[in-house]
Chains A and B, each alone.
Chain A
Amino acid sequence: MREFLLGRLDADALPHEWHTIGGSIGFILMLLIGIGFLTYTKRWKWLWNEWLTSVDPKKIGIMYFIVGGFMLLRGGLDAIMVWLQQALSSGSSQGYLSAQHFQEIFTAHGNIMVFFVAMALIFGLINYIVPLQIGARDLASPFMNTLGFWLYVAGVVMVNMFFLLGGEYAATGWLAVAPLSGREFSPGVGVDYWIWSLQISGVGTTLAAINFIMTILKMRVKGMGLWKMPLFTWGSLCSMLMAVTVFPLLTATLFLVFLDRSIGTHFFTTDAGGNAMMYTNLIWMWGHPEVYILMLPSFGIFSEVVSTFSRKPIAGYKSNVLGMVGVSTLALSVWLHHFYTMGAGANVNQFFGIATVVIAVPTSVLVFSWIATMYKGRIRFTTPMLWFLGFVGIFALGGISGVLLAIPPVDFQLHNSLFLVAHFHSTVIGGVLFGIFTGLNYWFPKMTGFKLNERIGRYAVWSWIVGFFVAFTPLYILGLMGATRRLDHYDASTGWQPFFIMSFIGGIIICIGVALQIVQIIASYIQKRQLYDYSGDPWDGRTLEWSVPSPAPDYNFAVIPEASTRDAFWDIKRKGIPKPVYKDIHMPKSTASGIYISIFAFLAGFGFVWEIVWLSVISILGVIICLIARTFDEDIEYTISAEEVEKIEEARENKIRALQKNAASGDDMGLIEFIKVVLKWAWGIVRSKS
């Protein structure tokens, strides 16, 4: 009976190690603070109506950013723990983590950074910006978008669930290679948590990708042909097409692992004809494109930023687009370079080697396109531009080391070494993360209505760049010294420790960079009276998202514009903005269906992890019933009449005028001033209480 009710779940599952207990207490405290704050300020209803159930891609985008931002801190904490262990555990010292803990932590670090940080932040930007760039009021299927977001949240909860219940996470590396991830070698629930957090959020990604493809292909404004689409939209389109192509592969592969682990099939086991090499192929057929799915929107962001801040249209637009299309196509045919060392032989290896080397061609074209854009430009060194300048140096390093790794005989020596780790951090931090930060600094005024503090922003950029090189140069060297990745301990005679310590120090500098980014946002909020973006076009932008006020109104465009050239808004600005003629606007209604479905999906996954069959069955039924119920809901739109639109627009103009009257001026505050302001504020609170 007990087994029927609770499956594998028992008292042992409660946290009983210091890192899980610490995590549990931290999570529960954070939850309590959140609940307390919402109750105290009576914001539950507001939160539910205005945010959680919203189908507005702008709000969903911001929610992606908030959840993804928290996960960035969580994944960063993992990174610091890994760094510290490796800095300490040389020779007789075993560090402060057991091998099992250490392996769980780097696994969680990889999963969280790729799935729950990078994907989330990229989706955040795509959600907010793509509809604005193509002149759409919402997405092709607003409901699918909220469902995708909430499935992602369910995945986030699942990946952190072991803090609250069930003391372990997978200790298999972020791709859970078989047969290590099989029941034979990983009997605990760690791998099951891994499967279901990825499975649920992966379905969300697939839905979101389909939605954005439909939106980009079908909902562009009049005049915007594919060859006139802004480059961020192009990057997003390529990325989403890839996601639709490969995420089903992930879903199927995870399902097979699940079958192996739960009902004892033998797809990837060592015995009974299972083939672990098949798993390695399948997971990389998804895993390699995955990194390009993250990379391509970033390429688009960089193209937008370099063009805006050089005050020039992008040079070689068509080459740039073809470069991105080329990268996304070729990226589907290179997966085997992740395991030349599995012994497929020279013929197979050389094919994938050439395919990989060829990817460097379209990527180089993008870089040349950016160089040519800056040529004879007028370059403003704003923070987005600085992130971009940092990206190119780091990404070049990642590119060169990547092409080296693509050459099979060289890869035999470098594979699985810290050189490899340094390589993919160069591309993912330099390319994806810097791209996201570039985009965040660039579009922040559009999202919130005020610009970010430039001064502290610059400090953050420099901390990140310096921290990156201090942290990852030693890893390149360690790889050349024969250090493999994922070591929880190494001999003192190897002489590696100074480099691990240096790398750890680099990690601390990166942490300072992250702290400065948080300070940057807070300082901008404090100073927002002087940072308000009244015009909606703070950077003298070129694309349509800058034609609407900041933050963008619910319906994005009071009047749908027309695009006659690539830099549609640049053109409109030159010709003069016509007097608006308002029409009725149809908007999608909020819905909580996505939340209900995701709760059921989470419960189903939880049931599978702990083998609680009744829970999974009921929950899957719940998902199906909710979906069917949603299809019968026909009252999903509301209309804002032309008069109302006019009133809303007038009200906003009045509000902006009032803000302008009240505007402050002055320089962006620096760090010392920020600390002073914070101390003064804290002192004020203390005084008013006593």
Chain B
Amino acid sequence: MPVWLTVVSLIGLCVLVAVLLRGKDIILFNPKGLIADQQLRLMTTATLVMFEIAIPALFLFYYFAWKYRETNEKATHDPHKSYGKLFTFAIWGFPTFTMLLLAYLLVPASHKLEPQKPIYDGIKPLHIQVVAMRWKWLFIYPVHNIATVNYVQIPVHTPVQFDLTADETPMSSFWIPHLGGQLYAMTEHVNRLNLMADTLGDFEGSVAELNGIGFAGMRFNTRISTQEDFDKWVAEIGTSANILNTSEYEKLLQPSLNHPAAFYANPAPALYSNILSKYTGAHEHGSDPTEHEGH
């Protein structure tokens, strides 16, 4: 009775999940960027490698439990069965082999998909400086001389480097799941997250690490547009009368919930380096965060 009950409930659960999933975007299975795509491939491969050991093991486990049940008179009973060297070798060998295989996947992938590493050698990525604030994300485009809050637009097929830091905010994690994995934004430090989109569209980004009461509302839209649209958009924001000067920044520093998207022209040139030096307290930083090697 419990056996068929289990099977029925498992099937029922699968059907229910399948019904609920209709028309839903399973983001990690639906990558829109190079990094997310490679991370998905790695995840799939690793899962298959583990299935190679887990499925036979689970099958044997439940098969033996059923076969050697007390009421089964036909099954042999051998309480003095001895287990030799071969058995020991097998139970250590199989998992070791599997895990070696995983390590073989893991090591090169860790280097290849290290988020701080530029996606292409020699191609200078688009720099966007990101500041985690309570509770909104500030994006500064140092080259384009504009800034946005809770909205980021990037051109498609262009490597982008997000320089993450935080100001007067606990550790936050910057995550655009459609494009790739997350990285922490912390005061005093710059973490560089390299991503590249390959599909046009609007994708949601969020903060993944708890950072206070405004946590759930600290979301932003990521728009992937063509290079022309991007340039047009930059020019449009650049002529806006909304300027991110020091007093405007002080206003942003005040904690706020569910902050709407906002757009600024002409962010103060040393804004980002001032945010950093506020915590390091040391020398003046240049606006190019590559100077913070080896933090």
Residues of A in contact with B (beta carbons under 8 Å apart): 98-100, 103, 171-173, 177-180, 185, 270-271, 273, 276-277, 280, 310-313, 315-316, 318-319, 339, 341-343, 345-346, 349-350, 353-354, 357-358, 360-361, 364-365, 367-372, 374-381, 386, 389, 392-393, 396, 399-400, 403-404, 406-417, 458, 462, 466, 469-470, 473-474, 477, 480-482, 484-491, 494-495, 498-499, 502
Contact = CB atoms under 8 A, between A and B. Distances in A.
Contacts of B94: 364, 368
Contacts of A374: 61, 64-65, 68
Given A409-B39, A466-B9, A171 B170 contact: no
A322 to B, nearest CB: 9
A328 to B, nearest CB: 17
Contacts of A484: 175, 206-208
Given A371-B64, A376-B77, A482-B204, A416 B209 contact: yes
B265 to A, nearest CB: 29
A523 to B, nearest CB: 20
B267 interface: no
Contacts of A179: 170-171, 187
B15 interface: no
A379 B68 contact: yes
Given A345-B116, A412-B182, A372 B171 contact: no
Interface stretch (B103-111, B153-161, B229-237, B245-253): B103-111
Contacts of A343: 115-116, 183-184, 189, 191
A408 B110 CA distance: 6
22 contacts: A180-B212, A315-B83, A316-B83, A341-B183, A342-B191, A343-B191, A357-B102, A357-B106, A364-B98, A376-B77, A378-B68, A381-B69, A415-B173, A416-B175, A466-B9, A482-B175, A482-B178, A482-B206, A484-B207, A486-B215, A491-B204, A495-B24
Contacts of B51: 400
B143 interface: no
Contact of B83 (A372, A389, A393, A466): A372
A375 B90 CA distance: 15
Nearest to A275: B188
A180 B171 contact: yes
A378 B188 CA distance: 63
Give the most central of B54, B91, B98, B219: most A CB within 10 Å: B91
Contacts of A502: 16, 20
Nearest to B114: A346
B70 A380 contact: yes
Contact of A417 (B107, B188, B208, B216): B208
A106 to B, nearest CB: 9
Nearest to A469: B13
Given A412-B115, A413-B43, 13 more contacts: A100-B213, A103-B215, A179-B171, A315-B81, A342-B171, A342-B184, A343-B184, A371-B57, A376-B81, A408-B113, A413-B36, A413-B177, A480-B27
B95 A361 contact: yes
Contacts of B178: 482
A480 B61 contact: no
Interface string B188-230: 1101000000000000101111111111110100000000000
A502 B19 CA distance: 12
B96 interface: yes
A458 B206 CA distance: 43
Give the most central of B9, B40, B208: most A CB within 10 Å: B208
A185 B212 contact: yes
Contacts of B10: 469
A481 B46 contact: no
A418 to B, nearest CB: 11
B61 A392 contact: yes
Contact of B279 (A271, A341, A342): A271
Contacts of A485: 210
Given A316-B91, A345-B114, A481-B24, A410 B46 contact: yes
B58 A393 contact: yes
A576 B36 CA distance: 67
A180 B168 CA distance: 10
Nearest to A107: B210
Nearest to A402: B50
A310 B68 contact: yes
A379 B69 contact: yes
Interface in B141-186: 168, 170-171, 173, 175, 177-178, 180-184, 186
B57 A368 contact: yes
A179 B170 CA distance: 5
Contacts of A389: 62, 65
B68 A407 contact: no
A480 B30 CA distance: 10
A172 B210 CA distance: 7
Contact of B92 (A341, A361, A411, A413): A361
Nearest to B190: A343
A415 B13 CA distance: 26
B107 A350 contact: yes
Interface of B: 2, 5, 9-10, 13, 16-17, 20-21, 23-29, 36, 38-40, 42-43, 46-47, 50-51, 53-54, 57-58, 60-62, 64-65, 68-70, 75-79, 81, 83, 87-88, 90-92, 94-96, 98-99, 102-103, 105-107, 109-117, 168, 170-171, 173, 175, 177-178, 180-184, 186-189, 191, 204, 206-217, 219, 279, 281
Contact of A277 (B29, B181, B186): B186
Given A413-B28, A474-B17, A177 B61 contact: no
Give the most central of A177, A313, A367, A491: most B CB within 10 Å: A367
A376 B74 CA distance: 11
Contact of B186 (A276, A312, A400): A276
Contacts of A318: 88
Contacts of B115: 343, 412
Which 5 A-B residue pairings sit nearest by Cβ, starting from the closest?
A412-B181, A364-B95, A409-B113, A180-B170, A482-B177
A310 B78 CA distance: 10
Nearest to A106: B210
Contacts of A316: 83, 87-88, 91
A368 B93 CA distance: 11
B181 A413 contact: yes
Contact of B25 (A357, A481, A499): A481
A536 to B, nearest CB: 22
A470 B16 CA distance: 10
Nearest to B102: A357
B208 to A, nearest CB: 4
B132 to A, nearest CB: 12
A412 B113 contact: yes
B52 to A, nearest CB: 11
A374 B51 CA distance: 22
B96 A361 contact: yes
Nearest to A171: B213
Contacts of A98: 213
Given A345-B116, A412-B115, A365 B216 contact: no
A673 to B, nearest CB: 19
B54 A396 contact: yes
Contacts of B173: 341, 415-416
Given A350-B110, A482-B27, A502-B16, A411 B181 contact: yes
B237 to A, nearest CB: 25
B182 A416 contact: yes
A375 B66 CA distance: 10
B238 to A, nearest CB: 30
A319 B89 CA distance: 10
Nearest to A313: B79
Contacts of A404: 43, 46-47, 50
A139 to B, nearest CB: 34
A361 B68 contact: no
Contacts of B171: 177-180, 276, 280, 342
Given A316-B83, A371-B57, A365 B114 contact: no
A276 B79 CA distance: 56
